[in-house]
Structure 1
Amino acid sequence: MRTSTWMRVSTGPRSDAQDPESGRVGLLILVCTMVVLALVSVGAVITTVHVQRSRLLTCADALAAAGAQVVVANGFYADGRITPGVGELDLVQARVQGLLDDSAGTTCRVGEGVHLDGMSVEDKDIVVRVSATARLVGLPPFLGAAVAPILVETSSARLG
């Protein structure tokens, strides 16, 4: 009679508690996932700031064009001139500020609100400077207010 002996081939440790490297793959996947999520979050914030800057430039363009129309219309219909007269720049700035207030919910809805920083006439151009504090997505409000960049854009429109 023959007796058969079965030999067990060892394929490694029998339990995870005995393996000093057990769980490292899971930890590596967790760390890689956190890095990818951080990169995606940073990309989203950068994209948001870029879009807000683009919208602020659109607002500045609209305000400069409106200011140029006011200057040209007032001067041209009064006495045929194109450049603003004495004291007329204050009127134009008040009109541009009024347009900014009216379009705060549409064209000029950027970040935490757009502010008219200045307006001037240089040669035959009207130059408008606006600023806004960017609104950052995904950050708590107290942290977003501390690190949010202030966006500044300048636009000009030709008189005449």
Structure 2
Amino acid sequence: MDADDPTPVHLDHVMDGLGVNPALPAPAVRPLFAWRDGFGKVAGRADLTEDMIEEIIATDDRWLLHGLARNDRLPERSRLRLAAHPDEGVRAALATRAASAPRRMLELLVDDPDVTVREHLAQVDGLAPDLGVRLAADPEPQVRAALAQHWT
């Protein structure tokens, strides 16, 4: 492919497909972190090592960080770092996967300054009752409404 050739329209999907392919060997995963036109699906891999996770966080790429935040297999230390990330979208993505999250991370998200993060957290099944009570007292009506819809 020449540099002047147009980029194939399906290339984003191909790169994301490679990123989630469990047969892709570990040395071939790391170069996919540099692909910035996809949706960061490579960050959802189950076989990411701690140094790979750190490399993804260091990219500060929105889609890679969102994919990483939605990865249920992250170590607690990485989840806590993402819970303190300045991008509220990353924190909101992390909140959607909070069912299996460490208690410390949940406490950070319950007190998050962004209403969207708290609203996503209010929709999580299996939230500890005391955290649900704290969300029930949230000053924002959409957080309380989300909690009422999803927490029985």
TM-score (normalizing by structure 2): 0.25
Q: Which has the higher contact order (CA 8 A, sep 6+)?
A: 1
Higher strand proportion, which one? 1
Which has the higher Rg, Structure 1 or Structure 2? 1
Higher helix proportion, which one? 2
TM-score (normalizing by structure 1): 0.24
